Structure 1
Amino acid sequence: MSNINEKLDRLRNLIQDQDFLTGKGLSNEVNIRMFCYEPKDEMAVRHFTKQLEKDNSLECNLICHNLYHVFLEICEEKNIIKKIPDMEEKKGSDYLKDRILKFSTTKAFAEKMQYEPHEKGDVLLLTGVGEVYPFMRVHSLLEELQTGFDDIPIVVLYPGSFNGRSVILFNEFTPNEYYRAFNII
Structure 2
Amino acid sequence: MSDILERLDKLKARLQDEDFLKGNGLSNEVNIHIFCYDPADEMAVRYFIEQLAVDQDVNCNVKVKNLYKIFLKLCTDKRLIDKIPGLEKSKGSEILLKNLEGRTASAKNFVQEICKDGFSEGDVLLITGVGEAYPFIRSHDVLNAIQPQDSGKIPIVVLYPGTFDGRDVKLFNRLPKKGYYRAFNIIGMEEKL
For the aligned pair, the TM-score class normalised by the smaller chain equals over 0.9
Query: Which amino acid in structure 1 is aligned with residue 153 of structure 2?
Result: D
Q: Which moved more, 1:123-132 or 1:147-156?
A: 147-156
Matched with 1:12 is 12
Matched with 1:122 is 123
Q: What is the SS of the residue equivalent to 1:57?
A: coil
Unpaired runs of 5+ in structure 1?
Answer: none
Matched with 1:33 is 33
Distance (Å, rounded) in 1 between the aligned partners of 2:173 and 2:118: 36
Q: What is the SS of the residue equivalent to 1:3?
A: helix
Unpaired runs of 5+ in structure 2?
Answer: 188-193
Q: How many residues align?
A: 185
Matched with 1:144 is 145
Query: Which amino acid in structure 2 is aligned with residue 51 of structure 1?
Result: Q
Matched with 1:133 is 134
Distance (Å, rounded) in 1 between the aligned partners of 2:147 and 2:48: 26
Matched with 2:171 is 169
Two-structure CA RMSD over aligned residues (Å) = 1.3
Shift of 1:116: 5.3
Shift of 1:115: 3.6
Residue 181 to residue 39, structure 1, CA distance change in 2 (3 Å): same
Distance (Å, rounded) in 2 between the aligned partners of 1:58 and 1:25: 22
Which portions of structure 1, spanning 4 or more consecutive aligned residues, are displaced by more than 3 angstroms? none
Distance (Å, rounded) in 2 between the aligned partners of 1:33 and 1:158: 10
Q: What is the SS of the residue equivalent to 2:126?
A: strand
Q: Aligned runs of 1:1-185 on 2, under 5 Å?
A: 3-103=3-103, 104-115=105-116, 117-149=118-150, 150-185=152-187
Query: Which amino acid in structure 2 is aligned with residue 83 of structure 1?
Result: K
Distance (Å, rounded) in 1 between the aligned partners of 2:71 and 2:116: 17
Shift of 1:53: 1.1
Residue 86 to residue 39, structure 1, CA distance change in 2 (3 Å): same
The percentage of counterpart residues that share the same residue type is 52
Give CA deviations for 1:99-125 in whole Å, capped at 9, x if unaligned.
Answer: 111121000000001145521101010
Give CA deviations for 1:68-107 in whole Å, capped at 9, x if unaligned.
Answer: 0000011011100001111111111111111111121000
Query: Which amino acid in structure 2 is aligned with residue 119 of structure 1?
Result: S
Query: Which amino acid in structure 2 is aligned with residue 74 of structure 1?
Result: L
Distance (Å, rounded) in 2 between the aligned partners of 1:133 and 1:97: 11
TM-score, structure 2 as length reference: 0.93
Distance (Å, rounded) in 2 between the aligned partners of 1:118 and 1:156: 16
Distance (Å, rounded) in 2 between the aligned partners of 1:145 and 1:117: 12
TM-score, structure 1 as length reference: 0.96
